Structure 1
């Protein structure tokens, strides 16, 4: 058996007559393939040969024909018009991606900035407080500007998609996209400070946090009062009457205690302590909203947990306790004649 095995091995090593009759140029190619490291695939070997050919090419062949063909193909592809069949859904997906980036990045950042602003307003004093709040204000505006840019990306992509859904074609996509984005961004940058931030819900919440710390129990004035009037803003005579904020009440209208686990109505926006409102509704299908002056019908399914309100109520209760302790210490230190 061992002899037979040995003879088979020797026959494998001997060149066959077919191999001898092969074209010498083909044999040379085969030998070059065998000399390449085994871990490299055929594609890598081919790429190396192309590189060698390019390096050996003269000045008139500085750009190989294959490379030129690839550039022509890409250029033709970029100039192909988008159609409803090929691009409507991908554009919708891209627009959605921009939205996810905006929500996923900016929403948490707004919360962090509000916490920092409240801390500075409560514990810092004098110049430190002033500089700290100015810095946070600048960061807040930068975040709002960045969010506006992300929204512009969404708007441009959404406009493309709507055109395609109507059967229109979009030609030279990259150029059109860039031009429309730059145009919308330039329009945004031309806006005044009030026009950029005065209508922002996030900016209003940020201002409310600082106001509650500095002016507890007082209603906040209109948010535009914190933003300077500039050329381009409407005059006092033309401006609509701006309504200031209301005093935030962090007590449940049912239990009259501080909200610790609030549920907020998705119908009217009123909030209640979770235990209190569940007991109030009981087994009834719906009830009139217990909040004073509200005539909306309220169901248990209309209530949702409100973590942000719970956090604000907790902070408000803590600040109230600190004020009471400070008042007590001041009263205790008074000398009675």
Structure 2
């Protein structure tokens, strides 16, 4: 049963990676026809929304399996083994919102916002402001050159589009930040002036970093 929970987490990770890929494709554009561009954007949005539903369902199953595992651990000799009825009961509790299971709502919200705003204009008719993301060659912690760049997974697709998003978007060297964090699951960003929290499990490899550095030269 524990293997099932691990497998579900891996599936959810793959779903999020696919959503990032869609956001990246959307940022590249490449369609000269406005009608085709709008159709593709709507298709991208629909695909990511379906992925969000799958992620939420996956987290429900994770939550249920964790409860069932704990049930088994707490079993006494005279207790009954959890049955399908126990699973059905837990699923109903999750469906009714008795358990706080929302999936990674903010992750998908940020991606959908990026896709929908790709060609949109603000209410006053002015084009949405786009800011160039600037990266440093130095790791914020060790002050040495970055060797293995990592970044918050939510920000990765935004940087690919050279857009700014309100979240910790600083790049770290993998070995440096993991050594600095030790056993902590999250730390405050070490970059001066940044008050955001970095969750270690949300860091992903960021190979696009090298292209961004070249473009800044």
Give the TM-score category using the shorter length: 0.5 to 0.7
Distance in 2 between residues matched to 1:96 and 1:112, nearest whole Å: 23
Counterparts of 1:173-188 in structure 2 under 5 Å?
A: 173-185=83-95, 187=97
What does residue 59 of structure 1 align with?
Answer: none
Q: Which digits, 9 at most, give the CA deviation of each residue in 1:230-268, with x for residues without a partner?
A: xxxxxxxxxxxxxxxxx56234277xxxxx9773589x8
| RMSD (Å) for aligned C-alpha atoms | 4.7
Counterparts of 1:151-170 in structure 2 under 5 Å?
A: 151-167=59-75, 169=79
What does residue 25 of structure 2 align with?
Answer: 116
What does residue 171 of structure 2 align with?
Answer: 271
Which one has the bigger helix percentage?
A: 1
Matched, 1:147 2:55: yes
Q: Which digits, 9 at most, give the CA deviation of each residue in 1:154-184, with x for residues without a partner?
A: 1111011122333464545122213422542
Q: Which digits, 9 at most, give the CA deviation of each residue in 1:74-108, with x for residues without a partner?
A: xxxxxxxxxxxxxxxxx3222222222222x3133
* Structure 1 outlier segments of 4+, above 4 Å: 168-172, 195-198, 209-217, 289-292
What does residue 129 of structure 2 align with?
Answer: 218
- RCO higher in structure (CA 8 A, sep ≥6): 2
Residues 172 and 199 (structure 1), Cα distance of their counterparts in 2 relative to 1, 3 Å cut: closer
Distance in 2 between residues matched to 1:146 and 1:171, nearest whole Å: 29
Of 200, 204, 214, 2:110 maps to 204
Q: Which digits, 9 at most, give the CA deviation of each residue in 1:18-71, with x for residues without a partner?
A: xxxxxxxxxxxxxxxxxxxxxxxxxxxxxxxxxxxxxxxxxxxxxxxxxxxxxx
State the shift of 1:129 in Å: 1.6
Counterparts of 1:82-121 in structure 2 under 5 Å?
A: 91-103=1-13, 105-120=14-29
Distance in 2 between residues matched to 1:163 and 1:205, nearest whole Å: 37
Residues 250 and 201 (structure 1), Cα distance of their counterparts in 2 relative to 1, 3 Å cut: same
Distance in 2 between residues matched to 1:198 and 1:263, nearest whole Å: 23
Structure-2-length-normalised TM-score: 0.54
Is the CA contact (8 Å cut-off) linking 1:263 and 1:272 kept in structure 2?
yes
Structure-1-length-normalised TM-score: 0.37
State the shift of 1:305 in Å: 8.1
Residues 197 and 264 (structure 1), Cα distance of their counterparts in 2 relative to 1, 3 Å cut: closer
Matched residue pairs, number?
165
Is the CA contact (8 Å cut-off) linking 2:56 and 2:103 kept in structure 1?
no
Distance in 1 between residues matched to 2:114 and 2:85, nearest whole Å: 43
In structure 1, stretches of 5+ residues that fail to align are: 1-90, 189-194, 220-246, 255-259, 275-288, 296-303, 321-337
What does residue 193 of structure 2 align with?
Answer: 293
Distance in 1 between residues matched to 2:104 and 2:82, nearest whole Å: 37
What does residue 132 of structure 1 align with?
Answer: 40
Residues 113 and 264 (structure 1), Cα distance of their counterparts in 2 relative to 1, 3 Å cut: closer
Distance in 2 between residues matched to 1:112 and 1:142, nearest whole Å: 14
Is the CA contact (8 Å cut-off) linking 1:118 and 1:210 kept in structure 2?
no
What does residue 71 of structure 1 align with?
Answer: none
Of 180, 199, 212, 1:313 maps to 212
In structure 2, stretches of 5+ residues that fail to align are: 122-126, 139-145, 153-167, 175-188, 196-202
- Provide the secondary structure at the position in 2 that maps to 1:160: helix
